[in-house]
Every structure is written in C-alpha cells, then in structure tokens.
Amino acid sequence: MITIKSQREIEGMKKSGEIIAGMHKGLRELIKPGLSTWKIEEFSRQYIESHGGRAAQIGFEGFEYATTVSVNNEVAHAFPRKKLILKDGDIVKVDTVVDLDGYYSDSAWSYAVGNVSDEVKRLMAVTKKALYIGIDQAQVGNRIGDIGAAIDKYVTDENGYGNVREYIGHGIQPTMHEEPAVPHYGKAGHGLRLKAGMTITIEPMVNLGGWKVETSKEDGWTVTTEDGSWSAQYEHVIAITDDGPKILTSQDPEFDAKYL
C-alpha cells in the first residue's frame, strides 16, 4: 500500500534523517585502515540511540545488528565483524535505518579506506552521481521507470559498469519497506506515476564488473558480486513534492541545496 504523507509526517522523517546524516558524517572521521568493522557498528548504534532514535534494522527478519557493513566485493547486507580489519585501499559500504518516534529514515554510504585506487575513486563517483541522476527524475508526474531508466543509461550505457538488479529502492513510512518498488533500471514513461507526498528511497548499487550477485549460503544475508568485482552504493530518502524532490537524509546542505 502506498501512503501519501502530510507535511508533518515529512518533517518527522527529516528529523529522523538528520540522525542518519550525523552518523554518516561521524563515520567519515572514524573509518580508516586498522579499524574493525565492528567498531563501525558500535559507533553507529551509540550515535543513533544517544540522539533519541532506534536502530530499526535490529530484529528485522532476524537481523541482529544496527548496521550492515559491506567491504569490497560485498554488495550489501554483510554483518559487522570484530575480526574483519579494514585495510588501506578498501571500500566499505555502511547502511542503516533509524526510527525516531515512529518516523523512518534509511541511508547507505560508501567510504574509501585510506588511499584507494583511481579505479575505486571512479566507481564511487559514478555511483554517487547515479543516485543524483535518479533523484532528478523523482518529479511529480514522472513515472518510476523514469528513475530507473536514467540511472541505468548512465551506469551501464555510458560507463560500462554492472547495475545491480536484484536489490532496489522502495517506499518508506510508516514502516521500513513500503510500496512502491523503485528499481534502478527500467523503461522511461512506464510504471507508477509519482505523486506529491510519496516518500521513497533511491539506492543504486554499482559493480566494477557484471551486475549479477549472489547471497551467502553460510549466513543467508551477505550479498557479493558473482564475479568478485568490487561494488559501491549510495542511498537517500526522497520526498516527492510539488516543488521537486526533497532529500530527507542530506549530509551536506550546501551540496544538496537544490533538493532541500
């Protein structure tokens, strides 16, 4: 079911999003070579809870952690681990969901660990730009397919990267995952028409190699690239408004000025 949110609800989600944004800004300073991915979990959970929020991923379908912390060829949903130590040149993706007084926000971000290769820098830049290309299409009157088509054209046709298809964006509020599904591929002019008051996530996952992924048979959660290539991801929560798309999880007001 798709719900149209009031301005009051959107403001509540934005306050929730401010907690996620603050957490990610803190991770910029924390993440460096020699850090265990468990320290990312500890910092993130403490930050969320100390700011009045609840780490909503804990308990979701049996998941035990506040964050997913995915490294290099891990695309998504990997557990934070005490024995996994970040190395210079790694790329790490951190994803979490915050519930603040019943208002949800969801954001994933990619971090370079120390000095990464030019190849990884370009992967991260293309993936982040793909997110904003998708956001530009989140306009009243456009269709879901317009978002996915624009992202896929840029990621696949123009840059030759693998655009993950198995995991997609989604509606959000009043729960973590709501309708509509928001693929990062599709056909322009097709799919559900966007209306003011809808709130969605846009969260492209982009691989250096092919787009296919697989899920660990050992833990049932960790998603990796099928070909072993490295992956990046960026995600924001967006409110569809008559004044254009509004980012509710912005970390950088100056960078996101046109979307606030």
The string of pLDDT tens digits covering residues 109-126 is: 999 999 999 999 999 999
pTM over 0.95: yes
**Domain limits, the chain:** 7-259
As given in the structure block, the two tokens for residue 163 are 């655009």
User: Residues within the annotated binding site for substrate?
Assistant: 77, 177
Contact 238, 202 (CB under 8 A): yes
Give the pLDDT confidence score for residue 245 in this predicted structure. Answer: 98
Distance CA 151, CA 237 (A): 16
Residues in the chain: 260
- 7-259 classified as CATH 3.90.1200.10: no
pLDDT recorded at residue 1: 85
Q: CA angle at residue 123 from 206 to 145, to 5 degrees?
A: 35
Helix, coil or strand: residue 149 = helix
Residue among 189, 107, 95, 106 nearest 148 (CA): 189
Contact 91, 233 (CB under 8 A): no
The pLDDT averaged over each successive group of 10 residues in the chain (260 residues) is 96 98 98 98 98 97 96 98 98 98 98 98 98 98 98 98 98 97 98 98 98 96 98 98 98 96
Extract the annotated binding site for a divalent metal cation. 95, 106, 170, 203, 235
Which parts are annotated binding residues?
77, 95, 106, 170, 177, 203, 235
